[in-house]
Structure 1
Amino acid sequence: MNNNPVIALDAMGGDVGPAIVIAGAELARERYPALRFRIFGQKPRIEAELKTAPRIAAEAEIVDVDGVVAGTDKPSAAIRRAKSTSMGLAIEAVKSGAAQAAVSAGNTGALMAMAKLALRTMEGIERPALVALMPTLRSDSVVLDLGANTECDAENLVQFAVMGAAFARTVLALERPKVALLNIGEEDMKGTEELKDAAALLRAAGADLPMEFSGFVEGNGIGQGLLDVIVTDGFSGNIALKTAEGTAKLVTGLLGNAYRSSWLTKIGYLLSRSALRALRDHLDPNNHNGAVFLGLNGVVVKSHGSATVKGFANAIGVAHDLVTQDIQAKIRADLANFSAHRPAMVVAAK
């Protein structure tokens, strides 16, 4: 464990750049006084923002770099100039050991490509997965993959389940998280062969894994909060995430329109204002900000590009938790445990 982590920040990523990044780091430092930062980006802009960030200004290390990865850049183009950009050098700091995690609000595809090339996948992991928290009726659930891999075989899905459970144990402090595979039905006979094979492997491993495998879950079950980890391929996962975000905006928008429709509904709003604020906060993506590329030899956290100061601070908080609780060691131990108790069965040929 590392209780005094150094976090590498891509100051130029996101819709606003240094203003949100520095203010978010200042807020995160208030929450986690032991945090230290290496900040990569255009030095004059960073120094201007540090004037209003006294907690980190005195000891944050600034690495001056002009190159910026734009939101429109293709990953292949971004990789070619990685070492001349704030994003690429933040990831390189993790690789070299100068930082224990990197946080960026920049181009997701470029960040994923750079991180995978620089850090490589962990032994026993074929593909990294993008994981994040989603709000539910009860608390938060872990969902992966959210877009890194559009097609996955049974082995990928099993590895995602192992990593997702380790993430839930770290971030949600769950001893044995409930894990399910996203499917078109809960019955065993439904779904693709890849899903059926992954379910068979996870069921056979049973109590030997630090998780409770619950079988399949349909899309309408994600928000119920009965499960802690939902596993799927990146194609379906990204659609589920964007649909949930859109639905949250729809609900809050419809409520706003309804409460503005007459003087009676405006009175109703005043009476229920505290409950509506609680609903808005629960659905606010800034309160769940910080997606992680699991399965790499290092921690890389992706913030929403439009994150607020609070949202970016929450992304840094995710990085802090994963480093101080050593998510890498948990994943390695869980993979070794699964391999040791792997059922003697052959995955069906596709």
Structure 2
Amino acid sequence: MNTHLLFLALVLSLGILKTATSEEITTPTTSCCPRKIITGDGDSRSGTYTFNTTMDVSTLPAECKDGCIYTKMGLDELFCFAPGNLTSECVAIGPKRPDFTTIMIGGSSGTETIGYPCNTSIEDFPIRTSEISAVVFKDEILVCGSFSNLCYTEKASKWIQTPNMAISKLYFTMSSFKDSVIVTGGQVNENPTYATDEMEIFNGTTWTKLNKILTSPRYHHCAVVISDTEFYVLGGKNGDIILPIMEKYDNKGNLVDGKIQNMTTPRFDFGCAVMEGKIYAAGGQQMGDTTNTFEIYDPSLNTWNLMKAKFENGMMGFHLVVLNGNLTAIGHQVLSYDGENWTKIEEANKGANDYFALVVVPCSED
């Protein structure tokens, strides 16, 4: 940006172009308006001006008494203001609208469909259910499971029943790819000792049971997609055995790598996410109790590291996601990780809930 300052002498009918230094001061003589909208019939000075910086008033034209400097959209110049014959409106600039929002569906507390941080117009889920899973597949939300093989797809904010899974189950994982969704493991009836190692695939019209299986039966495990063709499966439970393992599979159900270092903490019913190439695992259950521990896997080193940061309390039945660039845990409470600590997001806590389905989607323009 150039060093010319166009002084808008609004007492006069013309602007005065002067040269000014760019020395900044940290405290202007008055509070600067974040955005000014100037209007005047046919006047070239009309338009929107956005606050840029403050400058030492001794370096500015005498009429620029507040030291507030602005830019105008489309111009590579700096402006200040004085009283005059045009209308000036100060407009507050609110916080930037988030790019993405979570959609929470159903859960132990009911059938509500809730958006955070952006609201959603999607109707409540048609049946009361928990222990369901969801993914975004072909730009639509696909929800399945909960003691059944029922599946629903969201279309134009309505839930439409879609082809059923091959097997009724709960506590399974769903991983979405360009042309398919892979379901792994799960509990296939209400007997908690009956876990399955089976996988099935959905191509958009039909569910098919794969002839591939996990290395061991499990439920309450977790999965993260790491590329267009591969995903990790972590942890889980098989009867009384709590698993620390992590394995890599491809989108056809083939085991790609079964020799990845175990998590530092065997856990089930926990949250996991991938961010900047690293895998995060947090919370969950261990031997009948919840845990508040948090660990990170670095694929380049094939190592898990237990982090100092912990949840204030143990959490289970929640989701760990990357939301607008921040690692976020969403369940009975909503927590954000800043790289050092977990902080509760008070305004996001809309009542206790767990075992709901959750996806991250772009915020609606509505």
Q: How would you bin the TM-score normalised by the shorter chain?
A: under 0.3
More strand by proportion, 1 or 2? Answer: 2
**TM-score (structure 1 length as normaliser):** 0.26
More helix by proportion, 1 or 2? Answer: 1
**TM-score (structure 2 length as normaliser):** 0.25
Between structure 1 and structure 2, the one with the greater Rg is 2
